[in-house]
Amino acid sequence: MAEHLLDVNQVTVRFGGLVALDRVDLHVEPGRTTAILGPNGAGKTTLFNAVAGVVHPTSGAISLDGRDITKALPSRRSRDGIARTFQITQPFVGLTVRENVMVSIVSRGVAMREARDEAAEYVSFVGLGPKMDEPARTLSTGQRKRLELARALATKPRLLLLDEVTGGVDRPSIPEILDLIRRLRDERGITIVVVEHNMEVLFGLADDAVFLNRGEVVVTGSMAEVAEHEAVRRIYLGDGDA
């Protein structure tokens, strides 16, 4: 096995004249949680999109477990173990919680009957057991985030990309969601990359971090080291004049 699960090497993404990512490096160790930090427009979502395969690098390379996936389609990357959640959740609102998860399982080629049982396991793991057969439209924002996690789990990921997983969630529900994410890492060995604006959340979650600004990596290291960097303190902790 390669030393890193994910390697982003000198990736540049241009949208016309705009350089959204500029020779970005990101190296993610297996079994760890890595935070992507940065102000609005820094390129965090573009980096996620490049890893998930929905945006193509203008130059540079991306590998999973040492294998080049730069040109692989999103469906191939999903089969290889990359899953992502979205800032705005997108459940099938007319389907039940269990059926939403079954869609991800069936797309792996699993038969309906087995998919029903397997879905129940993921739904319970994320704490939505009591909502199993309710339509997804009845879920609160926090419950929808949990459903997204169950759907991501159903693809059997090795690498999970989480976009603003506590965004829009009421404060009292946040610790439970964080606990759930830590269990994904600790009990299921899933490697996690997270984009999140809430620093408090990140301190409880991330082992490593990379801080981007205007598409460039400013600092990379342990979460504690990166949080100490002056540019990070200025933006996230309100130090200085910015």
Ligand X SMILES: Nc1ncnc2c1ncn2[C@@H]1O[C@H](COP(=O)(O)OP(=O)(O)OP(=O)(O)O)[C@@H](O)[C@H]1O
- Evaluate whether 166 touches 194 at the Cβ level (below 8 Å): no
Among 31, 41, 127, 135, binds ligand X (CB under 6 A): 41
- H runs (alpha helix) in the chain: 44-52, 74-80, 97-106, 112-125, 141-153, 174-188, 199-203, 223-228, 230-236
Among 33, 34, 46, 96, binds ligand X (CB under 6 A): 46
Least separation in angstroms between CB 148 and ligand X:
17
Measured CA to CA, the distance from residue 174 to residue 177 in angstroms comes to: 5
Least separation in angstroms between CB 162 and ligand X:
13
Binding of ligand X at residue 224 (CB under 6 A)?
Answer: no
Q: How many residues bind ligand X (CB under 6 A)?
A: 11
| 69 phi/psi in degrees, rounded to 5 | -120, 15
Among 11, 24, 42, 210, binds ligand X (CB under 6 A): 42
Cα 30–chain centre separation: 14
Least separation in angstroms between CB 44 and ligand X:
4
Q: Which amino acid is at 150?
A: A
Give the residue among 170, 219, 218, 240 at the shortest CA–CA distance from 198. Answer: 170
- Evaluate whether 97 touches 147 at the Cβ level (below 8 Å): yes
Instruction: Pick the stretch among 36-44, 142-150, 165-173, 184-192 that binds ligand X (CB under 6 A).
Output: 36-44
Among 7, 43, 208, 236, binds ligand X (CB under 6 A): 43
Q: Which is nearer to ligand X, 44 or 151 (CB)?
A: 44
Among 5, 6, 28, 38, binds ligand X (CB under 6 A): 38
Task: Please tell me the chain's helix, strand, coil percentages from 3-state DSSP, rounded to the nearest 5.
Answer: 40, 25, 35
Binding of ligand X at residue 58 (CB under 6 A)?
Answer: no
Binding of ligand X at residue 44 (CB under 6 A)?
Answer: yes
Q: Which is nearer to ligand X, 41 or 221 (CB)?
A: 41
Binding of ligand X at residue 53 (CB under 6 A)?
Answer: no
Instruction: Pick the stretch among 39-47, 69-77, 176-184, 216-224 that binds ligand X (CB under 6 A).
Output: 39-47
Give the residue among 116, 88, 85 at the shortest CA–CA distance from 100. Answer: 116
CA distances from 69 to 22, 43, 212 (A): 19, 20, 23
Residue found by looking up tokens 């971090």 in the block: 209
Least separation in angstroms between CB 46 and ligand X:
3
Judged by CB under 6 A, the chain residues 13 through 32 that form the site for ligand X are: 15, 18, 20
Instruction: Pick the stretch among 3-11, 34-42, 97-105, 115-123 that binds ligand X (CB under 6 A).
Output: 34-42
* Contact residues for ligand X, defined by CB under 6 A: 15, 18, 20, 38, 40-46
